[in-house]
């Protein structure tokens, strides 16, 4: 490398050194790959090494985006209109600085962000998830969790993702970086419509009139909530089978006939589910109050997200509550 730099004209060499100086220590300028089909993308995604990524946005050129960060596998998977278009290795928070799990939206985008906490360190292509310092951005990728809470991405992948997302894009963070485990097989979603309503249920779509929609269903406290653009617009009781602790992520897509269909995303322990639709037997295991169900389906469109989790949504339940964050007080990213 030194010999190659020495052979360059002074002006070119200076430009290269200046670019290197803009990257934080350890930032991966690592290998990226493109794919021409979903099959090819899947093949390349299965053999990614630390710092590598694959990106194929042409597979689904339009539609709402979903970013799924799997802490157990240290990967980020990108979906557009329910179709997987990219996979990257990541590095999340180390012990003592764990990246929070939950449902987030992109609150702020800053391609040239610098940390006010860590000595003005550059954090290229930052996409903020919380106002207290958690974000996606280009950073070091040693092959294990080593950040102070943010999700580090390869530099070039961070640039591509930054260009593809918008404010309000849904980001789901799940898994356990410190104790990765493969979940047991489980069941998911949707209504036989016999559950009774609860006095705590509410529906207030005016809180957030537009933006991407995410539904979170909790087995732990038998409830669901509806978020639009990161703001809770509805909550209801929901009778869910509670015979396993699996996490499932689904996106609402459109089938060949133009009908809406929920399809599974690939999450730890359920990689074989990716792209499969939800069958009738699974839908029939979930009960939602009929009136609430009618209201909820009225705000859904292709690209909506469904997260099924064991984590509780209420603070009074046992276990670690799921983080559903949208803060109002801006501060600086601290990673």
Active site residues: 137, 150
Q: Could you give the CA distance from residue 41 to residue 209 in angstroms, rounded to a whole number?
A: 35
Q: Give phi and psi for 290, each to the nearest 5.
A: -55, -45
Collect all residues with Cβ–Cβ distance below 8 Å to 309 and sequence separation of at least 6.
Answer: 174, 216, 217, 218, 219, 220, 247, 322
Give the Å distances, CA to CA, from 130 to 108, 142, 274: 9, 24, 28
Q: Decide if 288 contacts 294 (C-beta within 8 A).
A: no
């Amino acid at each position: 490398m030194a010999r190659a730099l020495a052979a360059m004209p002074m002006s070119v060499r200076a430009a290269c050194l200046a670019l290197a100086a803009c990257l934080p220590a350890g930032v991966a300028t690592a290998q990226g790959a493109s794919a021409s089909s979903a099959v090819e993308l899947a093949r390349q995604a299965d053999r990614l090494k630390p710092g590598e990524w694959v990106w194929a946005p042409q597979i689904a050129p339009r539609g709402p985006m979903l970013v799924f960060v799997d802490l157990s596998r240290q990967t980020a998977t990108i979906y557009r209109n329910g179709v997987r278009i990219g996979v990257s290795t990541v590095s999340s928070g180390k012990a003592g600085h764990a990246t929070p799990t939950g449902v987030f939206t992109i609150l702020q985008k800053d391609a040239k962000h610098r940390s006010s906490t860590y000595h003005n360190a550059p954090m290229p292509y930052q996409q903020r998830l919380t106002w207290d310092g958690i974000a996606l951005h280009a950073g070091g990728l040693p092959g294990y969790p080593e950040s102070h809470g943010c999700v580090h991405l390869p530099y070039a992948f961070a640039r591509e993702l930054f260009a593809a997302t918008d404010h309000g894009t849904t980001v789901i963070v799940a898994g356990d970086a410190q104790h990765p485990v493969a979940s047991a097989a489980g069941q998911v979603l949707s209504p036989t419509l016999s559950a009774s309503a609860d006095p705590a249920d509410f529906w207030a779509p005016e809180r957030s009139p537009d933006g991407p929609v995410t539904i979170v269903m909790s087995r732990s406290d038998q409830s669901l909530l509806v978020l639009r653009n990161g703001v809770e617009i509805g909550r209801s009781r929901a009778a869910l089978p509670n015979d396993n602790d699996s996490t499932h992520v689904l996106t609402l897509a459109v089938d060949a006939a133009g009908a809406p269909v929920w399809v599974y995303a690939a999450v730890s322990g359920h990689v074989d589910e990716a792209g499969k639709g939800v069958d009738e037997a699974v839908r029939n295991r979930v009960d939602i109050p009929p009136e609430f169900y009618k209201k909820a389906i009225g705000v859904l469109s292709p690209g909506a997200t469904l997260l099924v989790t064991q984590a509780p949504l209420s603070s009074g339940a046992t276990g670690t509550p799921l983080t559903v964050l949208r803060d109002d007080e801006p501060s600086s990213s601290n990673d």
